[in-house]
Amino acid sequence: MPRECEGRVALVTGASRGGTGTALAIRLAAEGARVAITARSASGLEATRERIEEVGARPLVLPCDLSDPDGGRERLVAHVEDALGPVDILVNNAAAGGYQPFDAFGREERRIAAEVNVWAPWELMQAVLPGMRARRRGWILNMTTSVAELPAGPPFARSGPARAGTLYGGSKAMLNRVTVGVAAEVEGQGIAVNALTPQAAILTPALEAARESGAIHPDLFEPLETMVEAALALCTASPDGLHGRIGYSLALLEDLSRPVRTLDGARLLEGWQPEDLPGRLERQRATMQAREGGGYGLD
């Protein structure tokens, strides 16, 4: 079958911890893209490099501290384009913030969240858009969170993201607004600009133990493959069809009737195909409604 990203250049941030950024970089490479990966952790990037090489590709590894305006991000796109060619796909996946009470966050924590979640994506979008406009082709995807949505209330939940997600959710809410604003500005120019939210807790390696121990309800997670498949759809779709969306992973896959494949693109993922998703979504909704203090999606 033809590969969806053959010959395209992709830049993925936050690709060093084995989660969504790593998994999406692997899938983009498997689909034929020339992939550049960036994060602070050089060792984490090397681990991602090895996994990308397993699917037959050679990524460009660019360590960079996105939380520091002088940490290399101002030259990141130029480095990618010098080595691989013009950026066709930009994925702003890196995130910072964490969950704790509003008055517990210090100035440095607030600064880092703003830099990583808002200003780094802003600057990287500014860097790639002139070339995308000139070529009339490009895809920008910003990874976001359900915590960016306004908490339901009052009365508000007594625990959970509504009470502990103000910094993370607030900064991602701004990213959502930036995403839609940029989408409006480039409409009709051949560039797709979207954001994507996990439907539930993404089953990263860090969460696997929590699921196995029962700390996460089995209906409140989704595999990395579904998040990656939804991201790939937004990184390849026509701007006439998918543009200016703040989408949820499983709902988007259901809407598109899109088959979910493994990270190497070689096989279908059992139990997570379009015909399986309505039942899974309904169970997630029911479980979240039954749990005190939940929101619809978790990440």
209, 258 contact by CB (below 8 A): no
246-248/60-61 β-pairing:
unpaired
The C-alpha atoms of residue 148 and residue 18 are separated, in whole angstroms, by 23
The catalytic residue among 99, 168, 248, 296 is 168
The C-alpha atoms of residue 216 and residue 296 are separated, in whole angstroms, by 14
The C-alpha atoms of residue 191 and residue 136 are separated, in whole angstroms, by 7
Relative orientation angle of helices 166-186 and 107-114, to the nearest 10 degrees: 30
Q: Does residue 168 carry a catalytic annotation? A: yes
The C-alpha atoms of residue 131 and residue 285 are separated, in whole angstroms, by 42
The C-alpha atoms of residue 20 and residue 128 are separated, in whole angstroms, by 22
- Which residues contact residue 251 at a Cβ distance below 8 angstroms, ignoring those fewer than 6 apart? 199, 281
Closest CA to 113 of 97, 124, 102: 97
Ramachandran area for residue 198 (φ above 0: left; ψ -120 to 50: alpha; else beta): beta
Write out the H or E segment, with its range, that includes residue 143: strand 138-143
Q: What SS3 state is found at 60?
A: strand
- Active site positions, annotated: 168
